[in-house]
Amino acid sequence: MTIDYYQKYCLECKHFCLDLGSPAYSEYTPGEAACLSCDKGHWCLGCGDDYERYYKERICTARTCPDFELDPELAKIGKCL
């Protein structure tokens, strides 16, 4: 995927959340798996979701999201690479 830095992506939004889950989590131990989500409730990708199928679709939600708020610190990361 080529990133167009003139588009909006959820990865640059103040409401983007990356929850790394619990250390040593597995399907056999208690705890929480990692999860990507929108704190405004627009989408969530968690354990059992098909990341390969939905990841690109979800992070591009920002293009039409009424709650998108650019996080200047997150936005700098990609543009500085």
Residue 29 has pLDDT above 70, yes or no: no
Reported pTM: 0.69
Q: Using CB atoms within 10 A of its CB, is residue 68 exposed (0-12), middle (13-18) or buried (19+)?
A: buried
Residue 71 pLDDT: 87
What's the 3-state SS for 53-72? Answer: HHHHHHHHHHHHCCCCCECH
User: Tell me, what amino acid is at 72?
Assistant: P
Q: Give 38's pLDDT tier (boundaries 50, 70, 90).
A: very high
Residue 46 pLDDT: 80
